[in-house]
Amino acid sequence: MRDSTAAKLADAISRPSDARPELTPPNGAVLRHGTVTAVGAAPVGAAPLASNSLEGGAAGAAPTAANSGGASGTAFDVVSGTGLTYDSAQAAHGARALRFVGSESAGPSYVEWAAAVGTRTEIWGRFYAYVGSAYPSAGQALFRAYDGAAAACRVQLNASGKLALLGTSASPQLIISASVVPLNTWIRVEFHFVFSATAGVVELRYYDSADSATITETLSLSGQALTAQATRYQFGQISQTTPGTGTYTQWLDDLAISVAGWPGAAVAVATGGGNAGMVQVDTTGAYWNPVDASYQPKVGDLVYLWQQGPVSMVGGRLNPPGTPLVPVTGSRGGNAALTSLLTQLAARGLIVDNTTA
């Protein structure tokens, strides 16, 4: 039979609150704990210099420079081409995305930031993409940058469904993904370009699970011959010099350009349901999604975390302030190790130590 003090201690640890889920870690996760120091939205990457969620557009309307700001974010400087509409049939987040549909031979359709981003020698960016029922019959750029009238770089979707990075308009495809973008599925693409005539860098991170912190595939090359800078930044359905002949439909959402680093996912998605708010734990940059709607996290609460990547957290609360703690009573029997354990657990707010020597 177990000692009564040990039994009560085990019981206190096994159920420190009425909403604590099983301590079964997801694959590859690390168990951590800490004190809540902030409650709110979790940053998921470098803050973008320009971003647009498309949420401010009216469904079915054509985007313009004038109607693209407001609730959507950074207004576009240029909107060009045909077949662009704010659409509610598909959206990576919220209720709107930008739909591109039309003949590949009709010429490029895109939205562009120019003055909003400025002249840059290094950029990072992000877009979410949903490819319809078929791939383009010839490569289509989903993003491209220009230095004035000179093509600087592009992220392209090939007829095979693979992603490719290109440099100047005269360059071939520099590197091509092994992954094939799935049809009728939202994916996320992030890119990084360093502009230089001799030391250019092209990088891409592909996520087949759109808001995941886990990269599906990375493409990277250095020492590339690019333009010395970029001044225009376009997202859209942009044909090659020799376009295809089919009709191709795609959606883009949550566009961003950063000059500070990888943007990351557009939103921090709650994985446990209920309260979708995020909490910061200590000063480590660890974030956690509350797992039940009944618990509203407060600064000072003690929580545990399953860490999967830098910001992908699920877990539960231990004993937040105001929740009655289970008292542990009985004799420690002079056991120094048990005394030390009880002292540490009490100091962390997990138990009330009412034991005797």
Domain ranges of the chain: 4-43+269-356, 50-258
9 close to 342: Cβ distance less than 8 angstroms:
yes
- Both tokens of residue 127? 């877009």
Q: How far is the C-alpha of 135 from the C-alpha of 158, rounded, in Å?
A: 7
CATH class of 50-258: mainly beta
Helix (H) or strand (E) holding 10: helix 4-14
Q: Which of 289, 296, 285, 286 is closest to 314 using CA atoms?
A: 289
Q: What pLDDT is attached to residue 345?
A: 76
Instruction: Count CA atoms within 13 Å of residue 234 on its CB side.
Output: 26
Q: Which residues pair with 310 in a beta bridge?
A: none
At 353, phi and psi to the nearest 5?
-90, 100
CA 71 to the chain's CA centroid: 20
Looking at 43-105, which runs of residues are DSSP E strands? 50-52, 78-80, 84-87, 97-103
Task: Name the stretches of the chain with pLDDT < 50.
Answer: 1-2, 12-23, 26, 43, 269-277, 283-288, 290-294, 308-322
Single-letter amino acid, residue 111: V
Per DSSP bridges, beta strands 78-80 and 173-180 are unpaired
- Give the Å distances, CA to CA, from 266 to 9, 105, 107, 156: 43, 32, 29, 21
235 close to 128: Cβ distance less than 8 angstroms:
no
- Spell 296-323 as b/e; 16+ CB within 10 A means b: ebeeebbbbbbbbeebbbbbbbbbbeeb
210 close to 128: Cβ distance less than 8 angstroms:
yes
At 338, phi and psi to the nearest 5?
-65, -40
How many C-beta neighbours within 10 Å does residue 149 have?
A: 8
- Give the Å distances, CA to CA, from 81 to 64, 106, 154, 233, 279: 11, 8, 18, 15, 43
Q: What pLDDT is attached to residue 94?
A: 86
